[in-house]
Amino acid sequence: MKDNKNEMFPLVDEQGNIIGAISRGEAHSGSKKLHPVVHLHVFNSNGDLYLQKRPAWKDIQPSKWDTACGGHIDLGEDVKTALKREVREELGITDFTPQDMGHYVFESAREKELVYVHKTIYDGEVQPSKEELDGGRFWSHNELLNNIGKNVFTPNFENEYTKFFK
């Protein structure tokens, strides 16, 4: 599998106002053009955090453990719609109540994203997409802390976890 480099995303300013459109290929080419994404951190009632394993074929951070659900907002989509779509596609979850944690700009060597962060508590079954993910599991707080900085997680996840939940 491969990501569709022609998929279109909104081009936004740091307040989230749409100022144009950009293809996935250009967004991930090092252009540093700001595009919006949604993240959902899924905790169970014991406080464990579900992480997805990114497949080896992904163009960004292959084979790393990452935020339970993360995805781009498609052109013409709002944050809430994108979040529900991504969570359904990646985790098979349709009955959750997201809590808005705010947004921030994340920049790596290849891209610049406006990240809308959410969390939820969910004790139901998680069914990671076989097409989009390489599985997933719940991690305890201690497991997370013991693996930060060891190239196990994506830099984006580590940044977000320490900023919002540590």
Could you read off the pLDDT of 80-99 as tens digits, one per residue?
999 999 999 999 999 999 99
Grade residue 41 by pLDDT with cuts at 50, 70 and 90: very high
The CA distance from 66 to 142, in Å, is: 16
- Does the domain at 8-164 match CATH 3.90.79.10? Answer given as yes
Per-domain boundaries in the chain: 8-164
DSSP state of 160: H
Model pTM score? 0.92
For the stretch 129-165, pLDDT in tens is 999 899 999 999 999 999 999 999 999 899 999 999 8
**DSSP states of 82-124:** HHHHHHHHHH---S---EEEEEEEEE-SS-EEEEEEEEEE--S
Pairing of strands 8-12, 69-72: unpaired
